[in-house]
Chains A and B, each alone.
Chain A
Amino acid sequence: GAVVSQHPSRVICKSGTSVKIECRSLDFQATTMFWYRQFPKKSLMLMATSNEGSKATYEQGVEKDKFLINHASLTLSTLTVTSAHPEDSSFYICSASPPGQGWEKLFFGSGTQLSVL
């Protein structure tokens, strides 16, 4: 099946620094990727929809200047957490769907555990 790769799997950073998380679709082109945030043993919250070649669409309540999304190619989307604070500590997961499958079958990255000290 389709593979979505996410890197890094774990990152620890100091408060005030920025962290970049990469999401790659390895064997298909993804014009759209999705970024989720998950708190421990909680549901996934959709943060934004990343669109190749255009601006991301953010969900209500998500700060676009805080969580910068860039989708520069058909296989790569990045999420940058700017000026990270301890409350940004969370598990971030990206997902994508092969062309033509829409929302019917999302493939997820393995997630990035962000810890802000």
Chain B
Amino acid sequence: AQSVAQPEDQVNVAEGNPLTVKCTYSVSGNPYLFWYVQYPNRGLQFLLKYITGDNLVKGSYGFEAEFNKSQTSFHLKKPSALVSDSALYFCAVRDNNQGGKLIFGQGTELSVKP
């Protein structure tokens, strides 16, 4: 079965420092990978996706993610964190065996301190 794992429940970063939110995946076939962000009591917002092409994907709000096939990872990164980046981040993979629905990871709470 397709799945994604986010090994960290929480990530703490100082404002201005680089941030990384980790995600690993397990799929059969080519992976379609996504990152979403959720602010408190809000729905999810799309950040970026990897379908094919360049391994480094650039997305919204200065975020980017690197697809690494050998490590089956799709870590989310940002060179300089902002306090406003504090939110819940979800990695997701498209389940090509079940009509293409998205399977979400358990989420990582990012906290950026001034």
Contact = CB atoms under 8 A, between A and B. Distances in A.
Interface of A: 4, 6, 9, 34, 41-44, 46, 49, 91, 93, 95, 102-111, 113
Contact of B46 (A91, A93, A107): A107
Given A42-B106, A43-B90, A43-B105, A103 B46 contact: no
Which of A103, A108, A110, A113 counts the most B-chain CB atoms under 10 A from its CB?
A103
B101 to A, nearest CB: 6
Interface stretch (B20-28, B37-45, B62-70, B75-83): B37-45
Nearest to B107: A43
A15 B99 CA distance: 35
B90 A106 contact: no
A32 B41 CA distance: 24
Contact of A44 (B41, B42, B99, B104): B104
Contacts of A108: 36, 43-45
Contact of B102 (A4, A42, A106): A106
Interface string B1-43: 0000000010000000000000000000000100010000111
Given A104-B49, A106-B102, A111 B42 contact: yes
B88 interface: yes
Interface residues of B, number: 23
Contact of A95 (B9, B43, B99, B106): B43
Which 4 pairs from chain A and chain B are nearest by CB? A108-B43, A103-B100, A108-B44, A43-B106
17 contacts: A43-B90, A43-B104, A43-B107, A46-B102, A49-B99, A49-B101, A93-B44, A95-B43, A95-B44, A104-B32, A104-B51, A106-B46, A107-B46, A108-B43, A108-B45, A110-B41, A110-B43
A41 B41 contact: no
A4 B44 CA distance: 11
A50 to B, nearest CB: 13
Interface string B47-71: 0010100000000000000000000
A34 B102 CA distance: 10
B105 A103 contact: no
B109 interface: yes
